[in-house]
């Protein structure tokens, strides 16, 4: 039972897992929305009671979720929680996601010790629970961790610029505006909003040199924030490309057509394919359309509309190659019977692949010739 519950609430796979994830996401968003609504000044007492009741139910669900995760964490094969029933659970409790789950239910136990504002802050922190359901945020965390040295260097540059600009403004404006530039810490408020290019306008330089320094600071601020933003954007893009490549490589290696190739050749071929997901009933190829790609079936099943008896193609098969080889329009219509994972190969990459690997070219030509003869026989 513990293993089955772990598969539902942790990886979130299968119908029950997807339902549980969707339910918790909706509950988190609704609970945060309710907490925001309680700050409305004209809310009636009846509404206050209803919203408080909803918050109590949500906290009970979150508490049950936390206890279940704590119970089933020893079943996780990806982590080192399963080596010892006590030490493993203690290690799980110290993970960031478990600490966020614990913070979500703390108002249930600390209501008598904390002020209403502090309790509201803890309730709004439940929004952080959504981090568990976002793979992209996990990727962003990996990117920040990998680029931490560069980001720290960029942060040091920001600090140097802030102190330098604030010091200049202190010496240039302290006599004219002692109330706002009377010290370097006071001038740092101007430095922060200017380097951030926010410019609230509550503190502005009056002297000519001060205005010149303000313009320089605004331009430097643009460059300052562009540096870490560019670092994160570039690293995030590279990380996503690496993950996509690994997924595509794994999919290509499962196709029988490439099963006899070594890893380096599969890596070269994987770079040519683009993954695609098709839903049941989706038309992938239509008879008479121009040929632009061939497809490999990694998982699922498709139906080729040939004559009165449609033909089924399953995992490991490929289709769409006849029109590419013959340089003609599509010879049949193909639809997805079930949810399919496909690999699409554009026409230019298709020709390059056949030129680079003659053994694949012979195999594809044989299959295409056999299918073409079947189509001609049916149509004849």
pLDDT along the chain (380 residues), means of 10: 80 74 88 83 80 86 89 75 76 84 80 70 78 70 79 86 90 88 89 82 85 87 79 77 70 66 72 82 86 83 80 82 80 87 82 76 76 68
| CA–CA distances in Å: residue 358 to residues 82, 266, 369 | 49, 15, 16
Cα–Cα distance for residue pair 193/327, rounded to 1 Å: 62
| CA–CA distances in Å: residue 133 to residues 9, 100, 104, 143, 233 | 11, 13, 16, 18, 21
Q: Name all domains of the chain by residue range, CATH numbers in brackets.
A: 2-133 (1.20.120.350), 148-239 (1.10.287.70), 263-379 (2.60.120.10)
Cα–Cα distance for residue pair 270/252, rounded to 1 Å: 6
pLDDT for residue 78: 64
Cα–Cα distance for residue pair 24/65, rounded to 1 Å: 9
pLDDT for residue 373: 77
Cβ–Cβ < 8 Å for 309, 279: no
| CA–CA distances in Å: residue 286 to residues 77, 169, 341 | 45, 69, 19
Residue from 258, 288, 289 nearest 273 by CA: 258
Residue from 285, 352, 272 nearest 313 by CA: 285
Alpha helices in 255-283 (DSSP H): 263-270
Three-class DSSP labels, 52-83? HHHHHHHHHHHHHHHHHHHHHHHHCCCCCCCC
φ, ψ (nearest 5 deg) of residue 286: -120, 135
């Amino acid at each position: 039972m513990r293993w089955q519950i772990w598969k539902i609430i942790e990886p979130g796979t299968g119908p029950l897992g997807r339902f549980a994830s969707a339910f918790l996401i909706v509950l988190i968003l609704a609970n945060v929305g309710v907490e925001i609504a309680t700050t409305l000044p004209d809310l009636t007492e009846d509404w206050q009671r209803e919203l408080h009741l909803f918050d109590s139910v949500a906290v009970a669900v979150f508490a049950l979720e936390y206890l279940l995760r704590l119970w089933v964490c020893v079943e996780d094969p990806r982590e080192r929680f399963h080596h010892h029933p006590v030490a493993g659970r203690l290690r799980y409790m110290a993970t960031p996601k478990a600490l966020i789950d614990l913070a979500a239910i703390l108002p249930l136990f600390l209501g008598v010790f904390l002020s209403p504002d502090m309790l509201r802050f803890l309730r709004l922190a439940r929004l952080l629970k959504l981090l568990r359901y976002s793979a992209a945020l996990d990727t962003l965390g990996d990117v920040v961790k990998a680029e931490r040295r560069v980001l720290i260097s960029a942060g040091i540059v920001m600090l140097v610029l802030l102190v330098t600009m604030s010091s200049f403004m202190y010496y240039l404006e302290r006599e004219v505006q002692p109330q706002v530039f009377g010290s370097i810490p006071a001038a740092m408020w101007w430095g922060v909003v200017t380097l951030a290019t926010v410019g609230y306008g509550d503190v502005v330089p009056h002297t000519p040199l001060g205005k010149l320094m303000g313009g320089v600071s605004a331009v430097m601020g643009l460059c300052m924030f562009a540096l870490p933003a560019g670092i994160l954007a570039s690293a995030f893009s590279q990380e996503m490309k690496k993950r996509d490549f690994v997924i595509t490589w794994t999919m290509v290696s499962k196709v029988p057509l490439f099963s006899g190739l070594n890893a380096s050749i599969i890596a070269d071929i994987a770079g040519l394919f683009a993954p695609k997901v098709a839903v049941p009933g989706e038309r992938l190829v239509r008879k008479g359309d121009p040929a632009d790609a061939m497809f490999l079936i990694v998982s699922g099943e498709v139906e080729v509309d040939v004559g009165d008896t449609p033909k089924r193609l399953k995992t490991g098969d490929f289709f769409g190659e006849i029109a590419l080889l013959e340089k003609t329009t599509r010879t049949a219509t193909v639809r997805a019977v079930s949810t399919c994972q496909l690999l699409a190969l554009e026409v230019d990459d298709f020709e390059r692949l056949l030129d680079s690997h003659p053994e694949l070219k012979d195999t594809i030509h044989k299959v295409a010739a056999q299918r073409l003869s079947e189509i001609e026989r049916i149509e004849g």
